[in-house]
């Protein structure tokens, strides 16, 4: 059976989620209060509906409760985003993901029970900044306020050495959780594994430790 999603707000962010879900063969009910936006998605989404989701009666009449996962991608209008999330929670939607505009908005969303809060602009900004600092940083993902996962390309300072020789855990407090090599992924690599130039290392640690490692090694 196909997975079924609802996307509310068809701006750049919500719109790209709709396109990708459809591309990945899911069913998507796409909603926006702006009829021009909805027209754009009429031939893309499974259903495209003009509705103001801050109206509880409207949400109920659309049967949104029956969908597995709803994403609220309402941008600028923080009040509408909060109100919509609150009502989705009230009608018993199982999984709700909401795009936050800022940290204050994110806090409110978590408090009222959003299951996932995403900050696409902020997160992409952080990723791009790390990639600008070093071309060897490929990706950066915040796990919490203090911990992150980073994907790095092994350079000359790392290649040719085994994990035990590098001793990154003792020196920097960082763990290498996996190595990507030529399409394969080696999970929990052994201490005697040798790193090759171009290997992609997935490392995990505190932000302070990762920063130290980034400055010294990358």
SS (H, E, C) 88-126: HHHCCCCEEEEECCCHHHHHHHHHCCCCEEECHHHHHHH
Supply the minimum distance, in Å, between the C-beta of residue 48 and ligand ADP: 12
Q: How far apart are CA 142 and CA 147, in angstroms?
A: 6
d(CA 46, CA 29): 6
Which DSSP category does 7 fall into? E
Name which of residues 90 to 109 contact ligand ADP (CB under 6 A): none
11 binds ligand ADP per the rule CB under 6 A: yes
Minimum CB–partner distance for residue 65 and ligand ADP (Å): 17
From 11-19, 141-149, 168-176, 202-210, span contacting ligand ADP (CB under 6 A):
11-19
- What is the torsion angle, in degrees rounded to the nearest 10, for the CA atoms of residue 195, residue 201, residue 204 and residue 207? 100
User: How many residues form the binding site for ligand ADP (CB under 6 A)?
Assistant: 21
Place of tokens 């998605």: 41
Question: Tokens standing for 46?
Answer: 């499974």
Among positions 23-82, residues that touch ligand ADP (CB under 6 A) are 31-34, 37, 52-54, 73-77, 80
- Nearer to ligand ADP by C-beta: 41 or 140? 41
CB 32 to ligand ADP: min, Å:
5
Residues forming the site for ligand ADP (CB under 6 A): 8-14, 31-34, 37, 52-54, 73-77, 80
């Amino acid at each position: 059976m196909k997975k079924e999603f609802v996307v509310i707000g068809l701006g750049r962010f919500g719109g790209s989620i709709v396109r990708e879900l459809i591309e990945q063969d899911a069913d998507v009910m796409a909603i926006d209060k702006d009829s021009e936006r909805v027209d754009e998605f009429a031939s893309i989404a499974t259903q495209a509906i003009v509705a103001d989701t801050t109206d509880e009666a409207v949400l109920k009449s659309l049967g949104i409760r029956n969908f597995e996962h709803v994403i609220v991608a309402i941008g600028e209008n923080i009040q509408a985003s909060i109100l919509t999330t609150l009502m989705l929670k009230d009608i018993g939607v199982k999984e709700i993901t909401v795009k936050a505009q800022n940290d204050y908005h994110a806090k409110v969303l978590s408090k009222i029970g959003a299951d996932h809060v995403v900050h696409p602009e902020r997160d992409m900004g952080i990723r791009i900044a790390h990639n600008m600092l070093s071309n060897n940083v490929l990706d950066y993902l915040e796990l919490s306020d203090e911990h992150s996962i980073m994907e790095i390309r092994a350079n000359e300072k790392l290649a040719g050495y085994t994990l035990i020789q590098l001793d990154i855990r003792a020196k920097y407090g960082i763990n290498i959780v996996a190595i990507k090599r030529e399409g394969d992924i080696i999970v929990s690599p052994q201490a005697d594994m040798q790193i090759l130039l171009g290997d992609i290392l997935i490392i995990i640690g505190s932000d302070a430790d990762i920063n130290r490692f980034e400055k010294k090694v990358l």
